[in-house]
Amino acid sequence: MIKYLIWDLDGTLFDTYPAFTEAFLEALSDFQYAADPDWVLSLTKINFSHCASVLASHFHLTQEEVEDAFWKHYLAMPLETQFLMPGVKDLCEYIVRLGGMNVIVTHRDRASTNAILKTHGVEALFTDFIAGDDGFPLKPDPSGVEAIITRNDMDKEQSLLVGDREMDIEAGLASGVRPCLLGEGGGSSRADYFVDDLYQLWDMIREENRLELNDTSTINT
């Protein structure tokens, strides 16, 4: 059964990619440059540093210049407009009712992770998180995933890692946890599970757990 969920944050728990894209576009505008929004979005979905590096190289800027301008614009954007993904609260509450726990391993820094969780009133649903400035190598390195499993005494066989990028999947596989890919890219991924949205994931988890718990709870979408 599945009692423990290890979550990625950006693009998995929260729909933050539109804000990232807009902040990068505004950063380029500071230097009198413009870029195709779809291209920038595709870069943000790889990871923040990759996007900043590619844009810096393409527009003959330094990565530090791009990142500094990005943060100036991103931090001015209201967190209220970076919405929870549909189904997050329902699924996390279900895991808590089972006596399990939700944890996060993210590349975001600790302050902004706390801020976005508190803004949307879901911090109590998460037992623990490892942030990008906590000193662990970033995904796909499994160190952060392994650390959060160890310090919360989580059973790997009852754990599932949920992410929207291949680096999340590789971190789960390397740590011995089943990974689930949310969204696009299923055909080329090594994930154990593929879902289009979190309600579909909730269905999948309930079906697996029903075999052990005779779970008769219902989903209200």
Task: List, as one string, the DSSP characters of the chain.
Answer: ---EEEE--BTTTB--HHHHHHHHHHHHHHTT----HHHHHHHHTT-HHHHHHHHHHHTT--HHHHHHHHHHHHTTS-GGGSPBPTTHHHHHHHHHHTT-EEEEE-SS-HHHHHHHHHHTT-GGGEEEEE-TTSSPPPTTSSHHHHHHHHHTT--GGGEEEEESSHHHHHHHHHHT-EEEEESS-GGG---SEEESSHHHHHHHHHHHHHHHH--------
Q: Is residue 132 one of the residues assigned to a domain?
A: yes
pLDDT > 70 fraction of the chain, expressed in percent and rounded: 94
pLDDT tops 80 at residue 186 = no
Query: Which structure tokens are listed for 47?
Result: 């990871």
Query: Do 75 and 120 fall within a single domain?
Result: no
For residues 176-190, give the mean pLDDT: 83
Query: Do 141 and 167 fall within a single domain?
Result: yes
Q: With bands split at pLDDT 50, 70 and 90, how would you rate the model's confidence at 220?
A: very low
| pLDDT top residue among 184 and 162 | 162
Beta bridge partners of 162: 7, 180
Query: Do 112 and 60 fall within a single domain?
Result: no
Query: Do 46 and 147 fall within a single domain?
Result: no
Instruction: State the pLDDT at residue 221.
Output: 43
pLDDT tops 50 at residue 219 = no
What is the rounded CA–CA span in Å between residue 87 and residue 197? Answer: 8
Domain boundary, last residue among 26, 57, 80 = 80
Query: Do 69 and 169 fall within a single domain?
Result: no
CB 1 within 8 A of CB 209: yes
- What does the mean pLDDT of the chain come to? 93
Give the C-alpha distances (Å, rounded to integers) separating 207 from 12, 56, 204, 219. Answer: 21, 47, 5, 12
Q: Is residue 220 one of the residues assigned to a domain?
A: no
Q: Is residue 221 one of the residues assigned to a domain?
A: no
Give how many domains the chain has, as a whole number.
Answer: 2
pLDDT > 90 fraction of the chain, expressed in percent and rounded: 89
Q: 46-74: per-residue pLDDT in tens?
A: 888 999 999 999 999 999 999 999 999 99
What is the rounded CA–CA span in Å between residue 114 and residue 131? Answer: 10
Query: Do 89 and 138 fall within a single domain?
Result: yes
Query: Do 55 and 106 fall within a single domain?
Result: no
What is the rounded CA–CA span in Å between residue 75 and residue 59? Answer: 23
Instruction: State the pLDDT at residue 188.
Output: 66
Range of the domain at 178: 4-15+83-213
Q: 94-127: per-residue pLDDT in tens?
A: 999 999 999 999 999 999 999 999 999 999 999 9
Domain boundary, last residue among 41, 58, 80 = 80
What's the CATH number where 92 sits? 3.40.50.1000
